[in-house]
Structure 1
Amino acid sequence: MTILLLGSGGREHALAYKLIQSSKCSQLFVAPGNAGTASIATNISISPTDFEALKTFVIQEKIDMVVVGPEDPLVLGIYDFFKNDNAINHIPVIGPSKLGAQLEGSKEFAKEFLVKHNIPTAAYDSFTVATVEKGCAFLETLQPPYVLKADGLAAGKGVLILNDLEEAKTELRNMLVGAKFGTASEKVVIEEFLDGIELSCFVLTDGKNYKVLPTAKDYKRIGEGDTGLNTGGMGAVSPVPFADALLLEKIETRIIKPTVDGLQKDQIEYKGFIFIGLIIVKGEPIVIEYNVRMGDPETEVVMPRIQSDLVALFQAVANQKLDEVTLKIDPRSATTIMIVSGGYPEDYEKGFEISGLDNIEDSMVFHAGTSIENGKVVTNGGRVLAITSFGADFEEAKKKSYQNIDKLHFDKMYFRKDIGKDLK
């Protein structure tokens, strides 16, 4: 099969790494890709949201399957674009329909879905510029801290957690009246704060059947001890040590199954990944959010643990026969450490040469924000590289990742040294 993978981050490099292991994959294109995908596949300079250019390319290259990495093309309706065009509707797209993608594209849609299908989630209400003062009054009914979420996509930056009531009111006005997050915050969801430990759960579904992928826990804050600004993710571990059989059974029966059943009941076409962000409060799983694709950097820690043929899994998704295939998981633990550009998640410089990549041993290097200039691999993003290692437990895996990070260098590189510390 000739496969087209959309995206340019660490998630896409990890997916590409897994796709090319399949005997079913004869050629892999990545649009637009990065320096890492360039070493194992063929990069093409097409934006994942330029649907007309993608149509021309898939016809020209006789593409057999499209795998969507990031959320933007899904929320914009790439699944429907292919389905509704007779020239390309025979090509399966791995990802949900535009309606299904609203689980991530609209916080309000997701909350309404959760409540409708009796899936545990925090109490909430949503507000617009016309009801901003009602929103301020609603804040007064809650206990701090206060959780404000931009309804639309804000590149992982649209959530504020504030301890001061007046500051929360000011930020609500900034989001709704001042358009702090642009069109993403034309509507804001205010949510009850839940105190617990977070966990990422991943599901692959054909809209009827599903497979539960390995759990992971990622670390969003830039600073050690979970301090500082939120990022796209500074590291991840899989499996999550505290996710025992009892908790996993609760997650599947109370959250995963009702989610997939809810999609069917609501007649929402969904053939792809569901990322379920959970918080565990006193041993009980509660949904914080849905994403409609794999997380990043969780993909870099989950994909290496999948031993099954990923292309075969995707074919089963496309044909709604996921119940007929077996999912095999590597029993070992994995730990991923992100290396980022100095200044990230705020302003940072690009174009620094990365040295030491050829010296990595017993770890996988997934490129997140890299490009090739004059034959050299250089930084091209905030999150630059993800170093993933296996071990008998996450501590052993983490040690290997840090040992290999010591061999790498670029100007102003930074990484957290305490990934997984809260799990000891």
Structure 2
Amino acid sequence: MKLLLLGSGGREHALGWKIAQSPLIEQLYIAPGNVGTQTLGQNIAIDPCDFTALKEFCCKNEVTVVVVGPEAPLVQGVYDSFKADDSTKHITVIGPSKKGAQLEGSKEFAKAFMQKYNIPTAKYKSITQNNIEEGFEFLESLKAPYVLKADGLCAGKGVLILDSLDEAKSELQEMLSGRFGQASTTVVIEEFLSGIECSVFVLTDGIDYKILPVAKDYKRIGEGDTGLNTGGMGSISPVHFADEVFMEKVRTRIVEPTVHGIQKENIDYLGFIFVGVISVDNEPMVIEYNVRMGDPETESVMLRIKSDLVELFQGIQDGTLQDKKLVEDQRHAACVVMVSGGYPEEFKNGYEITGTESTNPDTLVFHSGTKSQGETILTNGGRVLAVSSYGKTMQEALNNSYQKAKEINFKDKYFRTDLGFDLK
């Protein structure tokens, strides 16, 4: 099989690492890829949202499967573009149709979907400039803190959690006035849910599904979950509170109704569903959907899949997913994200990185924001590297990752040293 993986981050390096292990892979291409992925296959200088160039490349190189890493091409309709073209409609795109991608691309669509199919989630109201007074009234009916979400994609920055009612009303006006551009012409106000979160990943062909290893990610920049939100500072898998009893509730109350709803809505959906789950008094509720694997959770989850991931993709391709086995590695996995000083605000690129080669077989270094200059690797983003390790326990996996993170050097490097503090 010749497979094209779209994306350039740590998620794609981890997916590529897992895909490249499969004996079913004849050739792996990554568009555009990064410094790390070039050791697994061939990087291709094509933008994942340039559908014309992607289709031409796939036809020329006899690609039969395209795996979509990031959300942007999905929301823009890469699946639909391939299916609408006679020259590429035979190619399996692992990713939902544009309609399915609204589960991530529109908070309003996702909340209405959950409500329609009785999937447990927070109370909400969708607000535009036309019904802003209803928004104020809904805020007044809620207890602090107040949650405001831009309807569209904002690269993880479109969610505000505010303690003051007056501030919430003011921010609602700001958002509707274009604070996040087109993404916040509609704002979803939500009831705040208190509990502990985990990330549940599902691989589906729209009928059958497999639940992948559960992970927990850490979004805030500072120790103890303080400071600004980031794209993710690390992840851990498994998550002890997501035990068999809890996950059976997730399966029957959330995953089954989600896949059933996808069928009822006649949505073409081949690929990953991310369900952001919060445990409220040991009862699972949905915070949000994404329509692809999360980052940095992928950098832990891929380590814990023992099965051949490409075989699962093949099951989606030929309709035999229900017959495939998903075997989990019983070891723990932990990912520590190393970032540029100043991130998630202003930071500088172009610093030399040393020490990335791993001598410990239980530790992998996935690239995210890097570039090469001759033989030298330089920083080229806020999140630079994701150091992922196995361990017999969560702490051993974390210690292995921390040890490697200490050995890697670049100017102003930073990583959190308290991951898993809320799981002990």
TM-score range, shorter chain: over 0.9
Gaps of 5+ in 1: none
User: 1:304: how far off?
Assistant: 1.2
Contact residue 358 and residue 365 of structure 2 kept, 8 A: no
1:408 aligns with: 408
Alpha-carbon deviation of 1:359?
Answer: 4.7
Cα distance in 2 for residues equivalent to 1:129 and 1:56: 43
- CA deviation after TM superposition for structure 1 residue 8, in Å: 0.4
Task: Name the residue aligned to 2:19.
Answer: 19
Give me the whole-angstrom Cα distance separating, in 1, the residues matched to 2:17 and 2:358.
19
| 1:135 match | 135
What is the total number of aligned residue pairs between the two structures? 423
Q: Secondary structure at the match of 1:45?
A: coil
TM-score normalized with structure 2 length? 0.98
Residue identity in the other structure for 1:41: G
For structure 2, list consecutive stretches of 5 or more residues without a partner in the other structure.
none
Query: Structure 2 CA distance, aligned partners of 1:166 and 1:199?
Result: 31
Per the TM alignment, residue 317 of structure 1 is displaced from its structure 2 partner at its CA by: 1.2
Q: Return the alpha-carbon distance in structure 2 between the equivalents of residues 148 and 55 of structure 1.
A: 38
Q: Secondary structure at the match of 1:131?
A: helix
| Deviation at residue 307 of structure 1 after TM alignment | 1.1
Residues in 1 aligned to 2:102 and 2:352: alpha-carbon distance in whole angstroms? 39
- Matched residue type, 1:329: E
Q: Distance in 1 between matches of 2:357 and 2:207?
A: 44
Whether the 8 Å contact between 1:338 and 1:385 is mirrored in structure 2 is: yes
The letter of the residue matching 2:25 is C
Which residue does 2:101 correspond to in 1? 101
Output one character per residue of 1:2-52: Cα deviation in whole Å (capped at 9) or x when no partner.
111000000000000011100111111111111111122111111100101
Match of 2:338 in 1: 339
Provide, for residues 239-275 of structure 1, a one-character-per-residue CA deviation record: whole Å limited to 9, x for no partner. 0011111101111111111111111111111100000
CA contact (8 A) 1:208 1:320 kept: no
CA distance in 2 between counterparts of 1:245 and 1:65 reads 33
Deviation at 1:413, TM superposition (A): 0.7
The alpha-carbon deviation at position 351 of structure 1 amounts to 1.1
Contact 1:340 1:382 (C-alpha < 8 Å) held by counterparts = yes
Please tell me the residue identity of whatever aligns with 1:78: V
* Structure 2 residue 34 is matched with structure 1 residue 34: yes
Aligned residue runs from structure 1 range 373-384, under 5 A = 373-384=373-384
Check conservation: 1:207, 1:320, Cα contact below 8 A: no
Residue of structure 1 in register with 2:236 after alignment = 237
Amino acid at match of 1:138: F
Q: Is the 2:199–2:215 Cα contact (8 Å) retained in structure 1?
A: yes
1:79 and 1:40 map into 2 onto residues whose CA distance is 25
Rounded Cα–Cα distance in structure 1 between residues aligned with 2:197 and 2:410: 32
Q: Give SS of 2:232's match.
A: coil
Give 3-state SS (helix, strand or coil) of 1:218's partner. Answer: strand
State the match for 1:300 in structure 2: 299
Q: Distance in 1 between matches of 2:358 and 2:322?
A: 42
Deviations 1:69-127, CA, capped at 9 Å, x for gaps: 00000011110100110011111100011111000000000000000000100000011
SS at the partner of 2:387?
A: strand
Contact 1:206 / 1:321 at 8 angstroms: preserved in 2?
no
Contact 1:74/1:95, CA 8 A, preserved across alignment:
yes
Residues 9-158 of structure 1 mapped to structure 2, 5 A cutoff: 9-158=9-158
Residues 234 and 419 in structure 2, CA contact (< 8 A), matched pair in contact too? yes
In the aligned structure 2, how far is the partner of 1:292 from the partner of 1:168? Answer: 29
Task: Tell me which residue corresponds to 2:217.
Answer: 218
List, as ranges, runs of 4+ consecutive aligned residues in structure 1 with deviation greater than 6 Å: none
- Name the CA distance, whole Å, in 2 between partners of 1:298 and 1:365: 14
CA–CA distance in structure 2, aligned partners of residues 375 and 77 of structure 1: 37
Q: Deviation string for 1:278-304 (max 9, x for gaps)? A: 110001000000000000000000011
Q: Which amino acid aligns with 1:273?
A: F
Cα distance, 1:133 vs. partner?
3.0
SS at match of 2:143: coil
AA of the residue aligned to 2:219: K
Contact 1:144-1:163 at 8 Å conserved across structures = yes
Match of 1:228, SS? strand
Please state how far the C-alpha of 1:130 moved relative to its aligned partner.
2.2
Whole-Å separation in 2 of the counterparts to 1:372 and 1:180: 36
Pairing of 1:358-397 with structure 2 (within 5 A): 358-361=357-360, 362-397=362-397
Q: Distance in 2 between matches of 1:312 and 1:247?
A: 28
Compute the RMSD of aligned alpha carbons: 0.9
